Amino acid sequence: MITYCSNCGSKTEPRLVAKQDLRACPKCDRIFFRNPKVVVIALIEDAGRVLLGRRDIEPGRGLWGLPGGYVDWNEHPEAALVREC
């Protein structure tokens, strides 16, 4: 159960959304759905250096991060990592 909002840090509360008992933030109205996503991420190291990429899309556009992303439906995780890198 998500107790605190990852957006603003407020304590979440139970809320009925589309006939589902979910958690929501009363301050910023973020709803926390139960829909896990499959992601891949790579840690590429060479001679003590780590490869980082700059995000091209939101959230976090312009920030640095490890290469990775979501795995598409019916896609092998290795293929997703190649696509994301």
The mean pLDDT value for 26-48 works out to 93
The CATH number of domain 1-34 is 1.10.238: no
Structure confidence by residue, pLDDT tens digits, 52-67 = 999 998 878 999 999 9
**Which pair of structure tokens corresponds to residue 39?**
């992601």
Say if pTM beats, i.e. exceeds, 0.75.
no
Could you please report the per-residue DSSP string of 12-79? PEEEEETTEEEEE-TTT--EE------EEE---EETTEE--EE--SSSSTT-EE-SEEEPPTT--HHH
The mean pLDDT value for 11-19 works out to 93
Map out the domains of the chain as residue ranges: 1-34, 39-84
Q: Supply the mean pLDDT for the chain.
A: 93
Given a cut of 90, is residue 37 above it in pLDDT?
no
Given a cut of 90, is residue 35 above it in pLDDT?
no
Q: Look at residue 59 in the predicted model and tell me its pLDDT.
A: 79
